[in-house]
Amino acid sequence: MIRKERQLLLTVLFLLFQLAAKPQSQSYLFSRLNVEDGLRSNYVTAIFQDTKGFMWIGTEGGLQRYDGKQFEYFPFDGIPDIYHEKVQRILEGKDNTLWIAYNSCIVTYNYVTGKARKILVLHQHIEKNFQATQFFIDSRGNTWLCTTDHGTFLYEEKTLAFVPFSKFFAPTGFNIVNVAEDPATHNYWLGTNIGVCMLDYAQKICYTPQNNPRNIPLLNIPALQVNVARLFGSSKRGLFINTWPRNAERPRFYHYDLQTGTLAEQHKDQGHMSQLAEDSRGNIWSAGDRLLRFSPDGRQLEIFERNQFARNGLDYSEMFTLAEDNMQNLWIGTSNGLFIFNYAKQQFHTVIYWPDSYKHSPPLLEATDIWQHPNGDVWVSSWGYGVLVFDSSITQLKKRLFHPSNTTINMAFCILPLPDGKVLIGAQHANLWIVDPQTWKVEYRVMKELDNRSIRCMTLDKQGKVWLGTQRGIVAKWDYQHNNIRTFTDSFYTQGRYLWNHIQDIYADEDNFIWVGTMYNGLLKMDTAGHVVQRYAADERTHLLPASDIRNIFPISDHKLLIAAGGIVLLDTKKDKVLSAITQEDGLPVGAITNVQPLNDQNILFTTNFSAGKAHLTKRKVVHYGRKYGIADETFESPASYKLRDGRIVLGSTKNIIFFQPDSLQDPVPPPDVRIHYFKTDGDLVTPYQPMMENADPEIRLRYQDCNFTIGYISLAYLEQDNLSYSYRLEGIDNGWIKAGNRRYVTYTNLAPGTYTFQVYCENGEGMQSQHITSIRIVLASPIWQKGWFYGLIILLIGGIIYLIHRIRVNRIMSTEKVRRRIARDLHDDMGSTLTSINIMSAMARRNAALEDLSKTQEFLVKIGDSTTRMMESMDDIVWSINPMNDNLQRVIARMREFTTGVLEGRQITFTFSIDDKIFNRRLQLESRHDFFMIYKEAITNIAKYAQCTFADIRIQLRKGKLVLRVQDNGVGFDVNDANEGDGLMNMQRRAQRMKGHLNIQSQPGKGTVITLMFPTT
């Protein structure tokens, strides 16, 4: 009795464990952005994509723009009122202008010109801040703003403000929280606190449940005559209505078809809906208490559950907004950041094996093989958890086969069905299970002939014999009906060297050959006697493979095998010939392919240690399936793949089970064209938007100093950023396209002046190139000295200088000639008259000497001597003045001192000679020097001859750039008016005028004389 109770207890516990170990389906993977990625706040309340492709994100921290790599903050410093306000809604109007709804106002921002403007919302509510529920532009161009408590507003061009709804239409007496324009009639359905109402735009009349003279059917429905929390109209004329009566605990959801006039209450208890939106495929999405997807007719519902434990799950406490971008990615704003996923492309569905005993995270399943039973059940062997048996949908775990005490036996590698209906499971340390699916009875055997080696793969030949491949290179042929086994090894096995190493896959073909995939020794073709008749490997010349590591063997029609061997190899078994090989050079991520599975005649599914994809055998094009398709952070180590009878393919990874329908996979599309989103010269941003976003032929003009610059570029494919590779070139500098990989900028230095064209494009992970090559012309100005007009100016300048030098030389020659003529004239006049006088006086002296009149003769001889002396002094003055050595004033002053001393000391006249040291930096021209000295000489001579003085004061000074000579004596003086007719004074005035100077003579009888000369110098 006690034994039976124990057995019953064990049976109950076993069944409870089976029920506790249920699969969980996590169908979608989400990418997440938060403050660590650059968001100013994790509370994302608004999302919008502009016509250029950039995403604009509104949070409690303000407005930001996202380009797939980084966030840029727009504080609008000119509008300080909004600095601490959150962004509630964003939309785009005309001419690249964004409309941003903050807490207290609207801001328009032209993202091309950079101009921002504040627009008031003219409400009468005591509370300044409003809560926006809807912000949109209708088909007529009206801009609507709906709020929870402040009312509904429309933008008025005349006042440049949002004015109340009642200014355009009759006062309503109710609060409008949402507006839906009917795409057929272009009237408006209003979600209000009294239910659904209708606005006839042409007549400007509001119809309500209480005022319905037209007997509009929708307004007569009692269920819709309560508070409407959200109202949304689809393009198919469907109204999605979220009502929440004042006293109700939970909201209700309805769908009303305007075409048929039918109402359906669907999907109760889905909670509050913050925002609804329609995607490009007509699906209606709701963000609120849950993320929901409705079919266009509103009948089907898909719920995306919150999952705070999964790495790529949707984790939030509140959900505020959502939007679809131009790549069909859905962006969701939550209290925990920004989530992104692509519903259409995520066709890989993940089944997580998560026993209840694991509280926070599921175990690593490590699926090793997959098989479908004829009854539809899907069997999955695992490393440590035995065998899991799912129903055909792979959503329900029907059975778990495992040894209750020996964990080694639960380390299963492979599954092989037998003709009698039983199933073999190969496991660790030569353990073999024999399972009867009818009774679930399991027989455990240890295959001692396998030398304690793990059974990694099995196949069944045409005679019904089981072939096994093990760790460390044993191939065994087992007659399971008679329990006879024969083993085959390489020649080095007995030495412990294991040439074959692990047998990773094995297959018996229709010609009764056994194909053995080894880890290091290539692919072996054996006969049923165990003889190797052919070897394919990386070191075989005639049967060459890309690598000798054989991971998977998969048969296809017409005696052909797919081999995972350093790539994807197509092998003809009849001709013993390798037909083709797709490798990393063709786009495979690595050579170590772990699974090959035909999708159709040409496309082959493959997996690697870290990814999955497909390859086209003839076109040799490779498509990579990543996060956007529903695969992220998966490792495919074992050849665990199987095509189910309904066409689905199941993959086993180290973590989960993944299945998908190949026909549902969308063909890849090219990535968006690359955008040049910044241009920097020495750290300064050069007009980043207008020339590169608006102009059909963008151009940047730079100064010649800006020959060092950096160009930033990016393709706005947000979920593919890590899979994009860029290529660029600068025509005239780069000889060909430069592969930049994932780098999104390039720097050029020390470019010569000229015109360049920068071009860039990108490729996605599928190898598809952006449709257009993005280009921008860069004009680097030449420096002034390299411009044509500058050369002309230089030529003119040089010509002018040469002409100036020539003129100076000519002027100097003419001046010298003028001086020579003057000297010649002076010599002719002075010397001629003097010599004539001497000649006359000599004749007179001779005549008087003949008459023996000695006194007269002596008088004439004295006069002849005086004339000769004056002539010699005059000659000396002329010679001295034309000598270039006497150009400086020091020589002039020295001669003046010498002359003064010689003249005045002989007359017993004392004198002072004062010189301003500044004059020695001045120079006098030859003629001026001569005239200056002659004026001074005449003044000193007059003092000696006529002044009858005892003292003379001589001063030479510099005043305002002019040289001043002042000569004063204490002699008898004279009347200046009576003396003006004298030759000496007239010569002094004439010389002063020639020097462009001024001569002033002051004298009175008995009061001495003052002579002042002032003239310019250089």
- How do residues 479-533 score in pLDDT, each as one tens digit? 998 999 999 998 877 777 778 889 999 999 999 999 999 998 999 999 999 999 9
- Measured between alpha carbons, how far apart are the two ends of the chain, in Å? 139
Residue type, 838: I
Is the same domain home to 869 and 963? no
Position 825 scores a pLDDT of: 64
Same domain? 825 vs 945: no
Q: Is 626 among the domain residues?
A: no
Handedness of CA 205, 210, 214, 216 (dihedral sign): positive
Domain annotation covers residue 625: no
Are the C-beta atoms of 971 and 947 separated by less than 8 Å? yes
pLDDT digits (tens, 9 = 90+) for 388-425: 999 999 988 999 999 999 999 999 999 999 999 999 99
Residue 66 has pLDDT above 90, yes or no: yes
Mean pLDDT along residues 633-648: 90
Q: Give the pLDDT confidence score for residue 927 in this predicted structure.
A: 74
pTM for the whole structure: 0.69
Edge-first strand order for the sheet with 89-92 is 89-92, 97-101, 106-110, 116-119
632-654: average pLDDT: 90
C-alpha span between 580 and 565 (Å, rounded): 12
- pLDDT: which is higher, 78 or 4: 78
Share of the chain above pLDDT 90, in %: 50
Cα–Cα dist 953/941, whole Å:
14
User: Do 836 and 819 belong together in one domain?
Assistant: yes
What's the mean pLDDT in 676-694? Answer: 63
**Considering 724, 757, 781, which residue would you say is the last residue of a domain?**
781
Residue with structure tokens 């609120």?
288
* CATH code of 684's domain: 2.60.40.10
Average pLDDT, integer, range 463-468: 95
Q: Same structural domain for residues 941 and 997?
A: yes
* Residue 225, both tokens: 């005559």
- 3-state SS of 351-399 is EEEEECCCCCCCCCCCEEEEEECCCCCEEEEEECCCEEEECCCCCCEEE
| Number of neighbouring beta carbons within 10 Å of residue 772 | 11
Strand pairing report for 951-959 and 910-915: parallel
Domain that holds residue 932: 887-1017
* pLDDT attached to residue 824: 65
pLDDT band at 428 (very low <50, low <70, confident <90, very high): very high
Helix axes 854-882, 788-826, angle to 10 degrees: 170
| CA dist., res. 669 & res. 780, Å (int) | 37
| Interatomic CA distance for residues 54 and 66, integer angstroms | 6
Structural domain includes residue 998: yes
Residue 802 lies in a domain: yes
Q: What is the pLDDT of residues 236-285, one digit of tens each?
A: 999 999 999 888 888 989 999 999 999 987 666 788 899 999 999 999 99
Query: How confident is the model over 169-216, as pLDDT tens digits?
Result: 877 788 999 999 999 999 999 999 999 999 999 999 999 999 999 999
Residue 30 has pLDDT above 50, yes or no: yes
Rounded CA-CA distance 632/341 in Å is 12
**Which one-letter amino acid corresponds to residue 899?**
F
Same domain, 809 and 909: no
Residue 667 belongs to a domain: no
What's the pLDDT at 690?
A: 47
Domain annotation covers residue 899: yes
Long-range contacts of 554-563 (CB under 8 A, 24+ apart): 554/507, 554/596, 554/597, 554/598, 555/507, 555/509, 556/598, 559/509, 559/510, 559/511, 561/507, 561/509, 561/515, 562/596, 562/598, 562/604, 563/517, 563/523, 563/536, 563/596
- pLDDT value at residue 65: 94
Highest mean pLDDT (candidates 266-270, 464-468, 943-947):
464-468
Residue 896 and residue 871 in one domain? no
Neighbours of 754 (CB within 10 A): 12
**Residue 106 located in a structural domain:** no
Contact 162, 156 (CB under 8 A): yes
Work out how many domains the chain is built from and give that number: 3
DSSP per-residue codes, 695-719: -SS-EEEE-TT---EEEEEEE--GG
CB neighbourhood size of 753 (10 A): 15
Check residues 922 and 555 and name the one with the higher pLDDT. 555
Final residue in a domain of this structure, among 844, 865, 882: 882
- Kindly tell me if the per-residue pLDDT of 372 is higher than 60: yes
CA 593 – CA 567 distance, rounded (Å): 6
The pLDDT of residue 862 is: 73
Residue 467 or residue 347, greater confidence: 467
510-531 b/e (C-beta count within 10 Å ≥ 16 → b) = eeebbbbbbbbbbbbbbeeebe
Cβ–Cβ < 8 Å for 43, 57: no
Tens-place pLDDT, residues 838-883: 777 777 777 777 776 777 777 767 777 776 776 776 666 666 666 6
The CATH code of the domain that includes 1005 is 3.30.565.10
Whether 698 and 751 map to the same domain: the answer is: yes
Specify whether 763 is located in the same domain as 808: no
| Residues 892 and 1011 grouped into a single domain | yes
Q: Does residue 725 fall inside a structural domain?
A: yes
Which runs of E-coded beta strand occur in 672-822?
674-681, 684-685, 699-702, 709-715, 725-731, 738-741, 745-748, 754-763, 774-780
Q: Among 845, 862, 882, where does a domain finish?
A: 882
Residue position matching structure tokens 């350093």: 566
Give CB contacts under 8 A, 24+ apart, made by 861-866: 863/837, 864/838
Contact 871, 827 (CB under 8 A): no
Q: Is the pLDDT of residue 666 over 80?
A: no
Residue 860 CB-half CA count within 13 A: 17
Where do the H-state alpha helices sit in 106-201?
Answer: none
User: What tens digit of pLDDT does each residue of 599-631 get?
Assistant: 988 899 999 988 898 898 988 888 888 777 778
Query: pLDDT grade, residue 698 (50/70/90)?
Result: confident
Instruction: Give the Cα separation of 227 and 257 in Å (integer).
Output: 20
Same-domain pairing of 893 and 875: no
Task: State the Cα–Cα distance between residues 815 and 348, nearest whole angstrom.
Answer: 103
Which pLDDT score is estimated for 12? 39
User: Distance (Å, rounded) from C-alpha 515 to C-alpha 525?
Assistant: 5
Confidence (pLDDT) at 347: 82
Same domain, 894 and 1013: yes
688 and 756 share one domain: yes
